[in-house]
Amino acid sequence: MSKIKSEKPDKEVYEIAICLSRMWGVAETLEPLPNVSFETARDVVIAWAGEFLTGEEKDLVKFFIRKIKEEQI
């Protein structure tokens, strides 16, 4: 997880986190993703949003697919 949780994320982080959350919900119906708590999902998507905004990736869908495949949530 990133330090985003302890800081106050700005609007852009929240907007990206909301998009990631929606993608996560869709992925849960299509992929065998583990059932995680609300707190875990919240922390993961906020961390991913911060990572996306500070990284080189420009395509949010590709970023999400890569993160879902990489992470052991």
Residue 46 has pLDDT above 50, yes or no: yes
Length reported for the chain: 73
Pick the more confident residue, 27 or 3: 27
How much is the pTM? 0.81
Residue 44 has pLDDT above 90, yes or no: yes
pLDDT (tens digit per residue) in 52-63:
999 999 999 999
How many whole angstroms separate alpha carbon 54 and alpha carbon 68? 18
- In eight-state DSSP terms, residue 35 is -
For residue 7, what pLDDT is reported? 58
Handedness of CA 29, 31, 35, 38 (dihedral sign): negative
pLDDT (tens digit per residue) in 11-40:
999 999 999 999 999 998 998 888 889 999
